[in-house]
Amino acid sequence: MVADFVPVASLLENVARFVPHNQALGIRFASLTDGRVTLALPYDDKLVGNPLTGVIHGGAITALLDAACGLSVYVKLGQAFQIATLDLRIDYLRPATPAKEVHGRAECFKITRSVAFVRCEAFHPLGDQGESDLVAVANGTFMLFRGRPVGARGGSP
Amino acid sequence: MTTVADVVRLAKEGGDVSALVAAIPYLRFLGISADASSGELIGKMTYSDPLIGNASIPALHGGAIGALLESTAIIQALWESETTALPKIVTITVDFLRSGRPVDTFAKGVFTKQGRRIVNVGVEAWQEDRSRPIARAQVIFLVDESPGSP
């Protein structure tokens, strides 16, 4: 039986439509360059984790990076198998700046038969402060279910 | 004006963390609450469709599970330390153990103080069966315990 794969490009472009949580957060596809997937998370009052400062909650960054990492695995595989996040470690270099959009950029740098290794970062685009633009860096590992295609109704994560 | 510090102080005095949770927009948005009435602080994420990350399984989004773990850790840290300022997250490491089914999810944190400024909270999340966790995280926070800090 020929598996019915959803094209990777379609998963990228429909990052919100296929994934309810991404849609709820307003996450959208920004770019794919040299295997690196960039997603955008627009600032919104509902994302705030500290009402005193207006800084968004770390959980929103976690969702953004998890999504970007997962898509970078599909890009590396060239096909959308089911995948599952095994672990994700996020180091926060500084709080995200209130009212600014956050981008998450991920690159899958190694795949084995069962596991994918990804590194990623969250940053503010169009910054003029060089490295200080970085909000967080992260590493993730993903389990691969080869031969089990992502269903037409949606992708993981 | 009621600040987060006031809410934290009131929560500690009255033993009711619901006002603290209600003061944080992202927790309201995801349906995360906390309850300390049983004597231990338990975080809860009430299921709703926007928490789904994989519609075909269906399974909760890793980001939603991560948010519950991080939020429960924050509330645990506030509960057990002297600070009334929200702790700043330094690092979170999440292990995803099982896929999160479309039901309510709970979490419980264990607090360790590492010196004056750093706290470490280990937190575990489960659904119907507490002995079968779906995820766990180690979260490191910076806290400011200087008097009068915001």
Reading chain B (150 residues) residue by residue, the pLDDT tens digits are 456 677 777 777 776 788 888 889 999 999 999 988 888 899 999 999 999 999 888 999 999 999 999 999 999 998 888 777 889 999 999 999 999 999 999 999 999 988 889 999 999 999 999 999 999 999 999 987 654 444
All residues of chain B having their beta carbon less than 8 Å from the beta carbon of residue A154 are: 52, 54-56, 58
All residues of chain B having their beta carbon less than 8 Å from the beta carbon of residue A106 are: none
The reply to whether residue B53 touches residue A20, judged by beta carbons under 8 angstroms, is yes
CA distance A127 to chain B (A): 22
**pLDDT for residue A130 is more than 80:** no
Given this model, what pLDDT does residue B145 score? 63
Residue A98 CB contacts under 8 Å (≥ 6 apart), including other chains = A43, A48, A53, A54, A55, A56
Nearest residue of chain B to residue A69 (CA atoms): B62
All residues of chain A having their beta carbon less than 8 Å from the beta carbon of residue B4 are: 50-52
Which numeric CATH code is attached to A8-149? 3.10.129.10
CA distance A126 to chain B (A): 24
The reply to whether residue B62 touches residue A62, judged by beta carbons under 8 angstroms, is yes
Q: What is the length of chain A? A: 157
Best of B89, B97, B144 to mutate (most A CBs within 10 Å, chain A): B89
Given this model, what pLDDT does residue B3 score? 66
CA B57 – CA B54 distance, rounded (Å): 6
The reply to whether residue A89 touches residue B92, judged by beta carbons under 8 angstroms, is yes
CA B23 – CA B8 distance, rounded (Å): 10
Measured between CB atoms, which of B28, B30, B62 is closest to A157? B62
Q: CATH for B4-142, among 1.10.10.10, 1.20.140.10, 3.10.129.10, 3.30.70.100?
A: 3.10.129.10
**How far is residue A86 from each of residues B2, B50, B134, measured CA to CA in Å?**
40, 22, 11
Measured between CB atoms, which of B49, B95, B150 is closest to A20? B49
Given this model, what pLDDT does residue B18 score? 82
If pLDDT is split at 50, 70 and 90, which confidence band does A119 have? Answer: very high
Given this model, what pLDDT does residue A75 score? 95
The reply to whether residue B64 touches residue A156, judged by beta carbons under 8 angstroms, is no
pTM of the model: 0.92
Best of A62, A91, A102, A145 to mutate (most B CBs within 10 Å, chain B): A62
Residues of B near A (Cβ–Cβ under 8 Å) read 3-4, 23-30, 49-64, 66-68, 70-71, 86, 88-96, 99, 150
Closest by CA to B5, choosing from B71, B82, B72, is: B82
CA B84 – CA B76 distance, rounded (Å): 12
Nearest residue of chain A to residue B140 (CA atoms): A91
Measured between CB atoms, which of A51, A56, A91 is closest to B23? A51
> Average pLDDT over chain A, rounded to whole?
90
Residue with tokens 């089911």: A82
ipTM: 0.91
**Hey, is B136 helix, strand or coil?**
strand
**Domain boundaries of chain B, sorted by first residue:** 4-142
CA distance A65 to chain B (A): 8
